[in-house]
Structure 1
Amino acid sequence: MSTGIGAGTTTSPNVSGLSETSGKIEIKAGILTKGSHTITVKATGYTDATVTQTITAPPSSAPPAPFINTIVFTEDAQVGDIYSDQLIVTGGTMPFTWSITNGSLPTGLSLNDRGEIVGTPTGQAGQYTFTVKVTDANNLSATRQLTLTVDGPTSVPAVSTASIAPNTIGQAYDQSLDATGGSAPYTWSITNGALPPGLSLNDQTGEITGTSSKSGVYNITVQVKDANGVTATQTIPIDILQSYDREVIWNGQVKNIPAIVGNDGGTQTTYMPIWYVMQLLKSMGIQSTWNGHDWDMNTSSTADLSGIQAGTGSASIYLNRTLVQRVNSQAKVDPSTNKLTTYMPIWYVEQVLNRVGLQSNWNGTTWSVTEQNS
């Protein structure tokens, strides 16, 4: 029986693209979607016939990968000016995800999820090379290396003041903040923290002046802005002391502890309360005990016990149970706690700390102690 495809041919489901070649019914490529399909063909014309056949359509062709068309930027960016440029992609399947895989954008600019580079450059002028990557919904991706030129000053400002001298409560205060680089004139401001009560900042000169009325350590973040709108910041501690306090910079951290000035063998010297020093030593892994006349420091680090000349005095300092120094001590009331405590001359304490790897320096107002390997 011969079956042909005539004008009355129907299919279920409806399929177009049927043709007959040498008595064979064919479905042209590209008609069916991927997957299995059961096709019933009823052909009329010569002899009515019904044919049922299950066929599997071949997989559709792979989706196209994305391609980044942007090769160069349409214009340069300018330090201090708002900038925006769109990266162009063709192919691929939305939505797209954008990222920087190598290098970095100029400071102040960012790449958003729409493929736009936007922002206001706040750093130094120059050429910035980076690699952008776009990934589509099918996890297909493309990358391209681009270079963006930023016009403007080649020098940026920096706050050169890292620290300023302490001040005693009730005394007039006058300290200046300094900056380098960028383009003058500068404008100063405080972006985090607050000045001690009684002090103010001149936003044109960077001078901090006034009479402080409350003691404590005030950490402030100062910002300098140059004539091009480029900014820089620096966090600086301002230490306001009570009349009986001395400033201690212990491995970079500013502390205030009480002190007294007394006679040591005919010489006026500064005495520090050993209880406070013992607490500071704990932060460096040095444990110590005090029994009223012996101060014993214990450390797992190597201690230098050479050339010991202990001298004389009413109190003794030990390192890992070895006597290294005798000193004259004084028992005085701690003005912070109103309790009796023992004070020792700071110069002798410095010599002992040097033996356990702590670099110590005293200038009459500030005592700086740092780990020599820090």
Structure 2
Amino acid sequence: MYHRFITLYIIGILFIFSHLPVLCAETSQRTIDLSINTVTVTLSITPENDILAYNVVETLPTGTIPFNISTDGIFHATSGRIKWGTFLDHSPRNFSYTLMLNPGEYNIDGTFCLDGDVLSVLGDQNVQVEYFPLNIDLYELPPAQINETYSIFLTTSGGYLPYVFDVSDGSLPSGILLNTGTGEIYGEPQVSGSYTFSIGVTDQNDYAAMEYSLEINETFQFKHINQTLPRGTKDLSYFYNIEASGGKPPYVFKKLSGSLPQDIVFQSDGNLSGVPKQTGLFTFSVQLTDLYDRVIQKEYTLQIVDNISIITDILPDGIVGNAYEQQLISNGGYGDKIWSVYSGRLPQNIQLDPSTGMIKGSPELANYHSIVLSVEDIDGRTAYKAMTLEMIGILKLEINEMPVGSKSHEYSETIRITGGKAPFEFDYTGSLPIGLELDKTTGIISGIPEYAAVKNMYVTITDSTTPQPQEISEKIRIKTASELTITTPAILPRARKGKEINLFNLLAFGGPDPFQWTVESGDLPYGLQMDPVTALISGTPLNSGNIVMTVAVQDNKGEIAQKEFLWHIYDNLSIQTNALPDAAKDIVYNVTLSGSGGLPDYTWHLKNGHLPDNLQLDSKTGRIYGTPGQKSPFTFTIQINDSDSPPQVAEKTFTIEVLDDDLYIS
């Protein structure tokens, strides 16, 4: 490559005359760079500090057309001049342009005007262009993108102007054109891919060509269209990849500005990861660069919120037949919440509104339910909480007249109630027969009455329903008599189906014996007998259930007394639950085993085997609960004991398999 540098320094010398204004020297510098037949000219103008305005004019060789004109210069084809300015200051500036010339000798002339005074560059600038063979000097084409403006001039040197360009082999991609006069390849490519073609150039004497491959990429862009990234959760692991498409991989990502949550790190591959330690809305800018140094930017926002949790700790009891309403409350998360019963079930006629978290309805039956509630936000954050929900029967007094007692004989009768929730508290106003007293925790009136009398009292009974206990106050009458009276307590000792009972006699006082005993209404439990003279009850009950019967006794004078008895025959103890549902790793588990028969209350034990890690068995309720942390099947045996003496025992073997959360169906 042939280069010639011509530098001219011009210093204008101003002479000071007594009758003329003072003029200062100004400086201009011209640099000419010649490469074969391409001439690049640079002018540097440095005005003095007292100059108010200036412009620059460059006169070109006849017939030449400049390109790459800097500093907003304007070429006037008619005069063959380039003009820069006017600049309303005295700041130094550089001005440049490029010419292509045929072989020969040329002069270039330039002037600059300072506050109206025109100064010329001293001496013509001579450029001698030698002949060189015609060639295309551009060896590679820069890559393009579909639907984006593309422009590149084929650098050509030597030979004689004008040049004529053509596609000599192959074809240009769709949307790309060739300017045959300037050698510009331009347009907006429509289809991505790699295209090979040859461009030829012809002057008046010669021909040259060059083969090119033009790579057209898909539009270089961020894949994530939205500005907002998926929300993260404080103190939980966050991971997200900002991705790119189009352009030419590999890509390099860089955070330009803004802030990220504490402990969130942005990597050069676009990965955001870490465990955020603060909540808030964070905005930051990302720069993306591809292999061809294309650069695009985008601003993102990342919101970190508190994890979701259920604030409600306990569910109040409901009362059968009364409206029930309880609002569940959550904290944290984002957006609307969806509530559900994750495991277990709600009482009959009680519903959970999934959108509001309101539990409401009117319970129809008294029962007890162990449930796990869940709440989920719009991002999928989920919280669980195990709770119990008990529906209590309406507290009622079964009788307003206590069984008759016999003067001077042992008395023990229970104030009979239905519904309510134990434990109960009993109190009264008025008076009991002398010798009797009320046990305020059991409701049993007992003692030895000293007189025959009829007494009235108001009994107040309070249960343990939460949050508002039920309370009733009603009048009760109690009679103690001297005449014939059955004194055996109305509630008979519990008995077990299939087991011989402990023999006992019904007792009566106040009349001459012998007595004659009969069952007036109802029946003795099947399998039991009563001696009509001694009232000895014996045998083995073959059925279970609650037995109500009325027994009469007649003394030797023909006097008759009657009494209603209640007898509970309980079934053999068993575990009713047949199988346990599978669990999910790291998800709350809550299932209550069901027992039947025997004499409540029950006690539950893990007899052998192991529960899944982090699960526990409540010995009083039979509830298995916790959050399993290890995937595996677990087999174990559960034993239940009742309150009989000696206690009944039953057992059953279960298997719980702990699965991954994504394999678990609740």
TM-score (norm 1): 0.32
Using CA pairs below 8 Å that are at least 6 residues apart, which structure has the higher relative contact order? 1
> Quick check: which one's helix share is greater?
1
Q: For the pair shown, which has the larger CA radius of gyration, 1 or 2?
A: 2
TM-score (norm 2): 0.19
